[in-house]
């Protein structure tokens, strides 16, 4: 499978600086004084037990959750405190693959991938592939080919398997040509073999171009095999922050005790 390199997009990853982020829901402290610096092109695995704050932290990076204190600076823009117009621009450089793939069910895989451009333009022609300019359709087919799904370009999303849907969601993120990709448990709903294939896709398609990748996982093997660095959360606090090559399963297991 080949990686897609945009003709006009960036080939470098985003610089991400999280400083003293704390978030509380009612009486529950979800995140406590989180500070991280993530370098362009780095692949970071975010680990922790259920309720440790992993997914919430990911949402904070794109202001889908708003902490009471702290800042998240991406390429010089504080996404938590900037005006909406600046936030839209910052989000246009960030791709997100959620646990729920959020595909539009009654349109084709190709149309869903084309929708990846909507973060950068509001061109109404992108809502239906029949009206989409040829160069954009061509790029969308390249993205589907990169994830092994070009042969199902015309299939409706609601007729795809879980693994196929996940691949289309990744292709949609590729279409956006993001400098930063956030993936929330991208292999959680997949069988082990398909899960490994999906993680390989991330490695080839994103960090291979110098993109920055942050993925949440419960799978220690995936974290150890597909990341440069591992950050572990427990009760909303960072208790592990180490290069992947310097850690092992025994150390990571304390996140789940």
Structural domain includes residue 124? no
Q: Which residues pair with 131 in a beta bridge?
A: none
Query: 10 Å Cβ neighbour count for 200?
Result: 13
The range of the structural domain enclosing residue 23 comes to 7-93+224-257
49-54: long-range contacts (C-beta < 8 A, 24 or more apart)?
49/234, 49/255, 49/256, 52/233, 52/234, 52/235, 52/236, 52/255, 53/23, 53/233, 53/235, 53/236, 54/184, 54/216, 54/233
Structural domain includes residue 257? yes
Q: Could you give the CA distance from residue 149 to residue 75 in angstroms, rounded to a whole number? A: 32
pLDDT tens-digit readout, 21-67? 999 998 999 999 999 999 988 999 999 999 999 999 999 999 999 99
**Of 30, 54, 46, the residue nearest 242 (C-alpha):** 46
| Best mean pLDDT range from 5-14, 195-204, 213-222, 233-242 | 233-242
Structure tokens at 193: 């073999």
CA separation (Å) from 257 to 68, 138, 225, 241?
Answer: 28, 49, 22, 17
pTM: 0.83
DSSP assignment letter at 255: G
Pairing verdict, β 229-234 and 237-243: antiparallel
pLDDT for position 5: 39
Q: Could you give the CA distance from residue 104 to residue 120 in angstroms, rounded to a whole number? A: 19
Structural domain includes residue 68? yes
Q: What is the mean pLDDT of the chain?
A: 84
Structural domain includes residue 200? no
Structural domain includes residue 174? no
Q: Please report, for the domain that includes residue 30, its CATH number.
A: 3.40.50.300
User: In this model, does residue 160 exceed pLDDT 70?
Assistant: yes
Residues of the chain above pLDDT 70, percent:
87
Structural domain includes residue 160? no
Structural domain includes residue 169? no
Q: Could you give the CA distance from residue 146 to residue 151 in angstroms, rounded to a whole number? A: 11
HSE of 146 in the Cβ direction (CA atoms, 13 Å)?
A: 29
Maximum Cα interatomic distance, the chain, rounded to a whole number of Å: 54
Structural domain includes residue 73? yes
Q: How many domains would you assign to the chain? A: 1
Range scoring the smallest mean pLDDT among 79-83, 173-177, 211-215: 173-177
């Amino acid at each position: 499978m080949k990686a897609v390199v945009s003709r006009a997009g960036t080939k470098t990853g985003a610089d991400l600086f999280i400083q003293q982020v704390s978030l509380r829901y009612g009486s529950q402290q979800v995140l406590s004084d989180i500070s991280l610096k993530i370098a362009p092109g780095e692949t970071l695995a975010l680990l922790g037990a259920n309720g440790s704050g992993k997914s919430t932290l990911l949402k904070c990076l794109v202001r889908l959750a708003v902490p009471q204190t702290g800042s998240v600076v991406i390429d010089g823009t504080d996404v938590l405190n900037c005006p909406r117009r600046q936030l839209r621009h910052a989000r246009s450089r960030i791709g997100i693959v959620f646990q729920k793939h959020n595909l539009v069910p009654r349109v084709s895989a190709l149309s869903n991938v084309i929708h990846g451009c909507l973060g950068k333009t509001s061109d109404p022609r992108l809502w239906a592939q029949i009206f989409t300019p040829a160069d954009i359709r061509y790029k969308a087919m390249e993205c589907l080919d990169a994830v092994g799904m070009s042969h199902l370009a015309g299939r409706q999303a609601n007729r795809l398997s879980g693994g196929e849907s996940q691949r289309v969601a990744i292709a949609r993120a590729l279409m956006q040509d993001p400098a930063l990709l956030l993936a929330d448990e991208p292999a959680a709903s997949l069988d082990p073999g398909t899960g490994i294939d999906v993680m390989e896709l991330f490695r080839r398609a994103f960090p291979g171009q110098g993109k920055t990748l942050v993925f949440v996982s419960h799978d220690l093997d995936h974290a150890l095999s597909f990341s440069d660095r591992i950050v572990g959360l427990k009760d909303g606090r960072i208790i592990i922050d180490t290069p992947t090559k310097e850690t092992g399963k025994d150390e990571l297991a304390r996140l789940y005790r």
